[in-house]
Structure 1
């Protein structure tokens, strides 16, 4: 192995470098290395597979690395609020829009560039441009036609909370989508009607811990029907083949709250130190290409009309209730959670 020794000139050079060491450190802190890998951090309350698929596609498209922190949408939003200007998050990707509304009201979100916003219809994004919906899903009824005929299913979701459905309808009170549905009921139909529905479900329905478990119960014929989101059924049908499913999807088709649509959305955190890259992410996530990635992996509806929801009931044929997208004071779901707790389901 070749050895090296310091010459007098080398010693002088080392001394000179040491003397200006502080300046060099300051410059290094201000100016990242030319070949440093660009990176953004996403706080994700979405299903892990969905976030990972979008992140991977974005990385391949742009070369920008994505680091994801997983958790519940509400918890991550409150974490960002607590972290304030020191938050390491660049993007927050939530399962529902309530947490985004909260962060926007606190002034903790950056305005998204029009290149991204213009790819999504105005009704699916914040009027001030601080967050946008990315994908949507519908509440549905999964039912087993060997146990109950479609004609015998009720015309409103409220009718499931009745004696004739004793131990025949499954629901998941811990689900964020269930909470959102209750919040919509409170806004559109009043707290008392929502409470009466919850009390009826508690008395006559069957509680499951997860939506997948509720769907499995329908598939096995343990219950006649389950209140879930469309993608649980659509993902399983995609894997098995719709003709191999024991259950089917039922839509009320009349503007009933049982057909409500909810959005998953994303925003740029104001504290982000990588705003340029974060804007690029939002532009990709709302593009036809990014939207196709999202719908293909999650079986949810893309909000860019140029992307196609393959195998799902056409988005244009859904008939959600008017006013359920903008829940106002009920957006964060807190009042709904308190009502569900009051009834004894949490």
Structure 2
């Protein structure tokens, strides 16, 4: 995992909105130092006694943990307010007047978008020192809180283990129509496609996506619905993140889950991408000190144990063991890719539209 898997990733689709948040003069200045431009325009409208969290993570996944944050974490007289299922575009639209203090996101690109446009400040050493350097933005604007791996869910009744595809190419070669499920609007799917473009170039990515389209993949609203379809035998395969399967087996018992998961491996295999959830403090936060304590809480042993056991993700601090039988991180073989290169979501969406996989 020393392959710089969680470097800065920018969400290109929101570049225009980020620019709209500032005046034309600020746009010119932002070319040199966007963080300084944002800082100069901060209105500090947030309540200094409230840490406001915009969470890109779902309420179902992380509310039980965030509900534990109180004065003992943040300091006397300070409370927390959380808005769930947010998109980074909200902060870009609000600009320097955003009341948000912390962004807690589910994808590297979300943090990258905010950092690129100057909306994230520098995290304190008390936070970044808790996490291996390879899991922290080089400029300390965000830190990973957990890791997750892309996997292939499959129905053993339709696909014997010996016949599992070795990679994404084998998955689409001669695939029967309608046998692969995916979530086309999910951030993890788009991150995978962006990694595909980075690893294979535009022509190579277009070739694979064309084959994928020809396989007439079945669309679902999210990864959970994809797993449901595989488990019920509606499709043979499903492209998801690993933790959905572990959450499901923990919830209903492994004996009651028909679907299984398969890890792709390989230095150049996009299907083996490892991504992050991460947090950062907003540049215009009016509660920066308490916000730093909140991010530090996400990296505490207590919180990391919650992620490991309740969400099934990989912790980013040492010594935390999951109740799930997760493969060790050292057993995963993700592609060698610097997520700094995943800045072009806009180009990814253009290619998906070109190949008929996005309206």
TM-score band w.r.t. shorter chain: 0.7 to 0.9
2:142 pairs, out of 122, 131, 142, with 131
Q: How does 1:287-326 map to 2 (within 5 A)?
A: 287-311=300-324, 312-323=326-337, 325-326=338-339
Pair 1:267-2:283 in alignment:
no
Distance in 2, Cα, partners of 1:193 & 1:187: 10
Larger Rg: 1
In 2: Cα distance, 1:102 partner to 1:267 partner: 12
Cα pair 2:58 2:85 within 8 Å, conserved:
no
The alignment status of 1:278 with 2:271, answered yes or no, reads: no
Measure the CA separation in 1 of the matches of 2:276 and 2:105: 9
Q: Is the 8 A contact 2:149 2:273 kept in 1?
A: yes
Aligned match of 1:345 in 349, 353, 357? 357
Residue 48 of structure 2 contacts residue 286 of structure 2 at CA under 8 Å; is this kept in 1?
no
Per-residue CA deviations over 1:283-302 (Å, capped at 9, x if unaligned) read 11122222222333321111
Alignment RMSD, CA only? 2.0
Deviation at 1:61, TM superposition (A): 4.2
| 1:176 aligned residue | 187
Q: Indicate how the Cα distance of structure 1 residues 72 and 84 shifts in structure 2: closer, same or farther if over 3 A, else same.
A: closer
Q: Which structure 2 residues correspond to residues 23-62 of structure 1 after superposition, within 5 A?
A: 38-59=49-70, 61-62=72-73
User: 1:115 corresponds to which residue?
Assistant: 126
Corresponding residue for residue 26 of structure 2: none
Corresponding residue for residue 262 of structure 2: 250
Q: Secondary structure at the match of 2:296?
A: helix
Question: Residues 55 and 149 of structure 1: is their aligned pair in 2 closer, same or farther, counting only changes over 3 Å?
Answer: same
Unaligned runs of 5+ in 1: 1-35
- Which residue pairs with 2:83 in the alignment? 69
Cross-structure match for 2:42:
none
CA offset digits 1:191-237 (Å, max 9, x no partner): 11212222222221222222222111111112211111111111101
Spell out structure 1 runs of 4+ moving beyond 6 A. Answer: none
Query: What SS does the corresponding residue of 1:109 show, helix, strand or coil?
Result: coil
Q: 1:53 to 1:103 in 2, by over 3 A?
A: same
Equivalent residue, structure 2, for 1:24: none
- The CA distance in 1 between the partners of 2:168 and 2:206, in whole Å, is 14
Cα distance in 2, alignment partners of residues 94 and 250 from structure 1? 26
Is the CA contact (8 Å cut-off) linking 2:73 and 2:297 kept in structure 1? Answer: no
**Greater RCO, CA 8 A, separation 6+:** 2
1:104 corresponds to which residue?
115
Q: How does 1:222-241 map to 2 (within 5 A)?
A: 222-241=234-253
Paired residues in the alignment total 306
* Distance verdict in 2 for CA 1:165–1:258, change over 3 Å: farther
Which structure: greater helix fraction?
A: 1
TM-score where L is the length of structure 1: 0.83
* 1:260-295 CA distance string (max 9 Å, x none): 101111100011101111011111112222222233
